[in-house]
Chains A and B, each alone.
Chain A
Amino acid sequence: MSEVIATNQTILVVGGGISGVTAAIEAAECGKQVILVEKNPSIGGRVSQLYKYFPKLCFPSCGMEINLRRIKANRNLRVLTMAEVSAVSGESGNYSVTLKNAPRYVNENCTACGDCETAVATGFDSEYDYGMKQRKGAYLPFNMAYPQRYVLDPRIIGTPDADKAKAACRYDAIDLDMQESETTITVGAIIWATGWQPYDADKIQPYGHDRYDNVISSVEFERMLDPFGPTGGKIVRPSDGQEARNVAFIQCAGSRDRNHLKHCSRICCMATLKQTTYLREKFEDDFKASVYYIDIRAIDRIDDFYRKVQADPNVSFVKSKVASITEDKETGNPVLHGVDTEGYHRYSNPHDLVVLAVGMEPSVPKDSFPVDVVINDNGFIETDAANGGIFAAGCSSDALDVNRAVQSATASALRAIQVVNRVAGTEG
């Protein structure tokens, strides 16, 4: 682990998703010293697991490529992966942060050739694919991972696979002796951008996500569209691999619900509308999509995307929160039960596949946040002067879409700069 030099004119960004990356780049391009820490082996976050963005239906890797170029070109910005913040103390303009660095077991000699991956045997659930696929014990997190460096799953250390990996590497890039280490750095301001995780759909008992194969979450559905993903880009039913041409989307699964997440997760309506276009992309005219909703939130300028999808004759909208799901044992079809509230009409609709538009749960450790910040009931960090030099960006601050997350990240970069500029002012 090379030496990390930081002062109280340095800005620390915690989290390497789209918000953290944006905040870090924007601050660094203003000439500030920035350190970006990410606990996973690669930056990119959850947007790298998406197929397309709404409403343009463009690819996340496009914007990420530009961000990577900007990162590579900027000497003010240092990216530390496999690093997690374990303690924070101090005050605005002078924080002491302890980082826990997990061993990657691969050093900077790695050329991403892939020989180690070919050599090892054991498979593990792929986090990137939400467990829908396996990956090897020596792996590159995904195609556009940054750094482009392999990583060893700690579970193979001490097993023959580790030795096989080391033997296969021609560049002496595998170091099985790497240890967990701790670094303590001084920074002036901290941007907290740890993003979100999908609400655990298993908790929504009536929907049977944990019992029925063909009830999946929206993030799992999204993974299917990746040609390098678990289904090679095909939209299929997990139960039998058949094409899923009649798909139900259940909105507010776990959101706006005092039994689960109280807040509205904002993006799920647009994400579902986007996913109906995937069906059209893959199946042309031969599909049906049913969206079960309470309110469709296609907000501001992008409301026309909703109208565009409404105009698709194969997509229907039912104002109903689905009450329960059962399974037709013979066909494996999930059957949705509920009441269409517009005019009161009961239904028991079978579908090939059910997609639960699960909400965003903020990845803010509410009860164990390393330092005192104002966290609201919904788990998000609020903008509050009491937070001192700690600023939330992206989905740590509210349920946001990418556009707003970038807006939030850019704003938090300025707030962090205000702090370090004040420090610079006092220090001359």
Chain B
Amino acid sequence: MTDANQQMVEQYRNNFLREVEDNVEEGEWVKMCMQCGVCSGSCPFGPHWEHPPQEIFMMIRAGKRDEVLQSDSMWMCTSCYNCIVRCPRELPITHIMHGLAHYAKRLGIAPKNQPTHKFAQLFWNNLTRTGRVNELKLGLALYFMNGIGEGIKTSLKMQKIGLGMLMTKRLAPMELIGGHKCKDAKGLQAILKKAEELEAARIPTAGK
């Protein structure tokens, strides 16, 4: 059987659900959803999600692995917690959304140009280099995230604010060079590398 048929045949089976349970933070809650839709209705970014949380849970149960993991929907989550507060089953929806996003990222199938994804990567890179967030570099990286043209435009737009911050000592221009570190940056990087290895080992090769 071809891959497509395999996928059809395995719809509505629990394989993807189990995969989510094993690999996604709070993934074992996905099965508790009763499809009421309060989360989807409560999300302030709702209109911008391709598939709102409640639909994602149903899609997971329907075995739609690719559509879920490749979706940019869960990346839209701003952690407002409106959904968690109202969910009658008390699903930790926010965490599951982040968990799914992260899992998709680890699998390498997260949407490349999704802004949150990109920013998250920038943040991560920035943080893990020195163990501390270098705000100046991060800010500039954010401006230039979508290309040089965009970067220059944004920088010019923000220059007044930047100057103001400089004057009131809220901005340390020396951060551009090097930047402050934590005590053992190398040790931190070693820890993170090991953690990544352990996580990667759990990712299944295919389906079950």
On A, residues with C-beta under 8 Å from B are 206, 252, 256-260, 294, 319-324, 337-341, 344, 346
Q: Is the CB of B88 within 8 A of A339?
A: no
CA distance A320 to B40 in the complex (A): 10
Q: Is the CB of A341 within 8 A of B88?
A: no
Looking at the assembled complex, report how far the CB atom of A10 sits from the nearest CB atom of chain B, in whole angstroms: 44
- CB closest chain-B residue, reference A336: B41
Q: Is the CB of B37 within 8 A of A339?
A: yes
Q: Is the CB of A341 within 8 A of B55?
A: yes
Q: Is the CB of A323 within 8 A of B38?
A: yes
Q: Is the CB of B42 within 8 A of A324?
A: yes
B90 within 8 A of A: yes
CA distance A294 to B46 in the complex (A): 20
**In the assembled complex, which residues on chain A have CB atoms less than 8 Å from the CB atom of B35?**
294, 319, 341
Q: Is the CB of B88 within 8 A of A324?
A: no
**In the assembled complex, which residues on chain B have CB atoms less than 8 Å from the CB atom of A341?**
35-37, 40, 54-55
B89 within 8 A of A: yes
Q: Is the CB of B90 within 8 A of A258?
A: yes
B86 within 8 A of A: yes
B149 within 8 A of A: no
CA distance A338 to B36 in the complex (A): 10
Q: Is the CB of B86 within 8 A of A339?
A: no
Q: Is the CB of B55 within 8 A of A338?
A: no
CA distance A257 to B51 in the complex (A): 24
Looking at the assembled complex, report how far the CB atom of A137 sits from the nearest CB atom of chain B, in whole angstroms: 42
Can you offer 19 A-B residue contacts whose CB atoms are under 8 A?
A206-B42, A259-B86, A294-B35, A320-B41, A321-B38, A322-B41, A323-B40, A323-B41, A323-B86, A337-B41, A339-B37, A339-B40, A339-B46, A340-B37, A341-B35, A341-B37, A341-B40, A341-B54, A346-B40
- CB closest chain-B residue, reference A320: B37
Given known contacts A258-B89, A320-B37, A346-B41, what 20 new A-B pairs fall within 8 Å (CB)? A206-B42, A252-B88, A256-B88, A259-B85, A259-B86, A259-B88, A259-B90, A260-B88, A294-B35, A321-B37, A321-B38, A322-B41, A323-B40, A323-B42, A337-B41, A338-B38, A338-B40, A341-B40, A344-B51, A346-B40
Q: Is the CB of A338 within 8 A of B37?
A: yes
B52 within 8 A of A: yes
**In the assembled complex, which residues on chain B have CB atoms less than 8 Å from the CB atom of A258?**
88-90
B187 within 8 A of A: no
- CB closest chain-B residue, reference A340: B37
CA distance A323 to B54 in the complex (A): 12
**In the assembled complex, which residues on chain B have CB atoms less than 8 Å from the CB atom of A339?**
37, 40-41, 46, 52, 54
CA distance A203 to B90 in the complex (A): 16
- CB closest chain-B residue, reference A292: B37
- Which residue, A259, A322, A323, A338, has most C-beta atoms of chain B within 10 A? A323
- CB closest chain-A residue, reference B51: A344
> Of B42, B52, B90, which one neighbours A344 at CB under 8 angstroms?
B52
Interface size of B by Cβ–Cβ distance < 8 Å? 21
B34 within 8 A of A: yes
Q: Which of B60-107 contact A (CB under 8 A)?
A: 85-90
**In the assembled complex, which residues on chain B have CB atoms less than 8 Å from the CB atom of A346?**
40-41, 46-47
Q: 9 tightest CB-CB pairs across the interface, nearest first?
A: A323-B41, A338-B41, A321-B36, A257-B88, A339-B40, A341-B37, A323-B42, A321-B38, A258-B90
**In the assembled complex, which residues on chain B have CB atoms less than 8 Å from the CB atom of A294?**
34-36
**In the assembled complex, which residues on chain B have CB atoms less than 8 Å from the CB atom of A340?**
37
**In the assembled complex, which residues on chain B have CB atoms less than 8 Å from the CB atom of A322?**
38, 41
CA distance A322 to B37 in the complex (A): 8
**In the assembled complex, which residues on chain A have CB atoms less than 8 Å from the CB atom of B36?**
252, 294, 320-321, 341
Looking at the assembled complex, report how far the CB atom of B158 sits from the nearest CB atom of chain A, in whole angstroms: 34
CA distance A323 to B85 in the complex (A): 11
**In the assembled complex, which residues on chain B have CB atoms less than 8 Å from the CB atom of A338?**
37-38, 40-41
- CB closest chain-B residue, reference A324: B42
- CB closest chain-A residue, reference B50: A344
**In the assembled complex, which residues on chain A have CB atoms less than 8 Å from the CB atom of B47?**
346
CA distance A341 to B90 in the complex (A): 18
CA distance A344 to B41 in the complex (A): 10
- CB closest chain-B residue, reference A337: B41
**In the assembled complex, which residues on chain B have CB atoms less than 8 Å from the CB atom of A259?**
85-88, 90
**In the assembled complex, which residues on chain B have CB atoms less than 8 Å from the CB atom of A252?**
36, 88
Looking at the assembled complex, report how far the CB atom of A183 sits from the nearest CB atom of chain B, in whole angstroms: 44
Looking at the assembled complex, report how far the CB atom of B46 sits from the nearest CB atom of chain A, in whole angstroms: 6
- Which residue, A256, A260, A320, has most C-beta atoms of chain B within 10 A? A320
